[in-house]
Chains A and B, each alone.
Chain A
Amino acid sequence: MDKIKVNTLPRLTYRYTHTNETVLDFAGSRNKAEPEFSDMTYVSEGGSLPDSFKGAAEELVQTAAAGKHFQINIPDGVKTALSVRLNLEHGTEDFCGTFSVSVGQGSELNLIWIWDGKEAGGQIISAACYEVQDGGKLKVSILERNLPGAVLADQRHVILHEGAVCDFASALLGGEKVIVHSTGRLEGRKSDMTETAVYAASGTQHEDLFYHLEHVGKETKSHIDVKGALDDHAKKVFRGTLDFKHGCSGSQGDEGDYAIQLSPKARNISLPLLLCREDDVMGNHASSAGQLDEQIIYYLMSRGFSREEAQRMVIESMLRPLIDRMDSSLQDEVLEAVNHALDAKESL
C-alpha cells in the first residue's frame, strides 16, 4: 500500500500545521463494477479526459483513467434528467472510471449520482469533467451512502460559459475515506456556481473536502456551503478557495464551513482561503466548529424530546436547508441515510 498526498492547498501554509495536504494509504484499484445509467439517449462510451485534468492526486486521476470513459452530451436547447448509479455489490469490487459531461447552449441537465454498496471494502475512484455552454443549467445531486470501509474519490472540474449556472449538492454519508476534489472555472460573464455538502461522520471516518472556484469572467458568482456532524474519532478537513482572477470585476463569492463536534476526540480542520487579483469584487468566508447548543437541546427536551432525539433534531435542522437543495426524489433517502449514519454513532 502506497502513501499518496491528496487535496493539496493551492497556496501552501506553514508545514508545522500539517494541513497543506492529506496523506492517504492507497492500494490501487481492481476495476469490476459498471455504472448504471437511467437513460442512454445522450450517453456514449469512449474518449478520455483532457490531459490538463487535475484531480485530488495524480495517482487517483491515473487510477480513474484506467477505467472506462463515458460521455454525456446534452445538445443545445434540451431539458433532461439522468441518474447514474455506482453500486458496489461485493466488498472486493471497485469502480474506476471517468466522465465528460457537456451541457449545450440553453440546455438543462438534472443529474443524480448515487454511490452505494452494502458490503465492506471496495473503492470508487471517479473523475469527471463538466462543461456548461452559454445559458445552460446543470444541477447535480450526489448521494454517497453505506459503503463501509470504502475509499471514495470524487474528482471533478467544471467550466462555465456565459450565463451558465451549475449547482452541486452532495450528501456524503458513506465510505471510510471520502475525498472530494472540485475545481470550477467561471469563465463566462454572469456564470454562477454553487457547491453544497452535508456529512455525518463517526468511527474513524475521514472526510477530505477540497473546493477551488476561479472567478475569471465579469460578474460571476460562487457559493460554497458545507455542514455536518463529527462523532467518535471522525475527522473532516475542509479546504475551500475562492480565487478572484484579474479582470473578474463585479464578481461575488462566499464560502462557509460549519461543523458540530459530538465527541471531544473528533477532529475538524477548516481552511477557507480567499485569493484576489481584482479590486472590484466581494468575497466572504466563514467557518465555525462547536458542540451542540445546550440552550436549544434544553428547549427541545422541555417539549418532551429525549436528549438523543433533541440532538438529532438539531443536527437535522442544520443539514435540512442543504438537503432541500438536492433533487426532491432524493431528499427522503438522504434523510434516511443521515439517520442511518447517526445510528452508527457511539455517543448518540
Chain B
Amino acid sequence: MSELLRIENLHVSVGEKELLHGINLTVNSGEVHAIMGVNGAGKSTLLHTIMGNPAYTVTEGHIFFRGEDITDLTTDKRARKGIFLSFQSPVSVAGITTENFIRTAKSIISGKQQRLFPFKRLMKQRMTELAMDESYAGRYLNDGFSGGERKKNEILQMRILDPALAMLDETDSGLDVDAVRIVADNIRKYHTENNALIMITHLNQLLKFVPPDKVHVLIGGRIVKEGGAELVDEIEDHGFDAFKSEV
C-alpha cells in the first residue's frame, strides 16, 4: 500500500476563527477512511480544505498528495491530480447538460479527449448501475434534480472521473434505503487497491455496506479518537458524548 494523502499539523481558519486545530491524517491507497463527529466538528471543513476551497485558509501545516506538497495548489489542479469531492449540497448549473459537463471534465482530468460514442456508452452503463434515468444525461446539471438525484449524480461523476482519492461528504443523507444500497454498491465497484476513500457520515447506514478500515472521530476541530470499524459500533451504542471529554 502506497501513501496517497498525508496531512501534517493542519490548522485552518475562516477569517479570524480557527476551525481545525492541528489535524494529522494519512491515507494509503486501497484504504477506506470514515470521519465521524457531531455537527460543526469540522468534518466538511477538512474535506473542503483538502479539495482547496478558497473560503478556507491554511494557517499552519501541510497537505501532501502522492508525496507532493499541494497545500498551495488551486482546486482545479488538485482535481487534475486525482482528488475528488462529492459535495454535500451539489450546485445546479442551468445551460450545461450533465453529459457535456462530465465528458468535458473527464477530458480535462484524464488529459485525453473523450470520443463521443464511447463516452455515451460509458455514461449509459454507469447510469444504469446507479438506477438513474437516462434522460438525466441530457438535462442541465442538477437543474430541477431532487436531493437524492443530485447525490447519485455526484457518485456518477466519481465513477466516470475515476479519481485516486474520492471524498464523500454525507453522500448518504437525503437517500432512501434502496438508494443507499445502490450508491454503496457503486462505491464498492469504484474502490480498488489503487484508490482510496474518505467518507463523512453522521449515520452508519453507508458504513454497513462499505466498511471502513480506519475511523477518525473529529470533535471541536481535533481528531480525538482513531480506530478500526469497531469504533462505528461504539459510536452507535454510546454516541459522541464519551469523546467530548477528550477535547
- Kindly report which residue of chain A lies nearest to residue B89, judged by CB atoms: A295
**Closest residue of A by beta carbon distance from B51:** A302
Cβ distance B163 to chain A, nearest Cβ, rounded Å: 10
Tell me the bound Cα distance from A302 to B79 in angstroms: 6
Nearest Cβ in chain B — how far from A199, in angstroms? 16
Nearest CB of chain B from residue A335's CB, rounded to whole Å: 11
Binds A, one of B35-43, B92-100, B123-131: B92-100
Could you tell me the distance in whole angstroms from the C-beta of A197 to the nearest C-beta in chain B?
16
Verify if B243 is at the interface (C-beta below 8 Å from A): no
Query: Bound complex: CA of A319 vs CA of B96, how far in Å?
Result: 11
Contact with B along A306-321 (1 / 0, CB 8 A): 1101100110111111
Q: Known contacts A302-B75, A303-B79: does B91 contact A316 (CB below 8 Å)?
A: no
- CA distance in complex: A304, B105 (Å): 6
**Which single member of A301, A314, A321 contacts B75 (CB below 8 Å)?**
A301
Residues of chain A with a CB closer than 8 A to B105's CB: 303-305
Dominant SS among interface residues on chain B? mixed
Q: What are 27 A-B interface contacts by the 8 Å CB criterion? A: A294-B55, A298-B54, A298-B55, A299-B93, A301-B75, A302-B75, A302-B84, A303-B101, A303-B109, A304-B76, A304-B79, A304-B80, A304-B108, A304-B109, A305-B76, A305-B104, A305-B105, A306-B76, A313-B96, A316-B95, A316-B96, A317-B140, A318-B95, A319-B95, A320-B95, A320-B96, A321-B94
In the complex, what distance in Å separates the CA atom of A185 from the CA atom of B116? 47
Q: Which of A265-308 contact B (CB under 8 A)?
A: 293-296, 298-307
Q: Which residues of B contact A303 (CB under 8 A)?
A: 79, 101, 105, 108-109, 157, 161
Q: Which residues of B contact A317 (CB under 8 A)?
A: 93-96, 140
B residues lining the A interface (CB < 8 Å)? 51-55, 74-76, 79-80, 84-85, 87, 90-91, 93-96, 101, 104-105, 108-109, 140, 157, 161
Our pick among B74, B84, B101 for the contact of A301 (Cβ within 8 Å) is: B74
Inter-chain CA distance A301–B76, complex, in Å, is 5
Contact check, A307 vs B74: say whether CB atoms are below 8 A apart. yes
Complex alpha-carbon distance, A313 and B94, angstroms: 10
Interface of A, secondary structure class, is: helix
Give chain B residues whose Cβ lies under 8 Å from the Cβ of A293: 91
Q: Which residue of A lies closest to B108 (CB)?
A: A304
Report A-chain residues with C-beta under 8 Å of the C-beta of B161: 303-304
Assembled-state Cα–Cα distance A286/B157 (Å)? 35
The minimal Cβ–Cβ distance linking A295 to chain B, given in whole angstroms, is 6
Greatest chain B CB density within 10 A among A300, A303, A310, A314 is at A303
A299 / chain B contacts, CB cutoff of 8 Å: 87, 90-91, 93
> What string of 1s and 0s marks CB contacts (under 8 Å) between A29-67 and chain B?
000000000000000000000000000000000000000
Candidate in A299, A301, A304, A307 with the most chain B CB atoms within 10 angstroms: A304
Contact partners of A316 in chain B: CB under 8 A: 95-96
- The residue from B76, B87, B109 contacting A307, defined by CB atoms under 8 A apart: B76
Instruction: Check if A302 sits within 8 Å of B94, measured CB to CB.
Output: no
Tell me if B95 and A321 are in contact (CB < 8 A).
yes
Assess the B96–A302 pair: CB atoms within 8 A. Answer: no
B75 touches A296 (CB 8 A): no
The chain B residue sitting closest to A316, CB to CB, is: B95
Cβ distance A260 to chain B, nearest Cβ, rounded Å: 13
Question: Which chain B residues lie closer than 8 Å to A301 at the CB level?
Answer: 52, 74-76, 79
Closest to A324 in B: B95
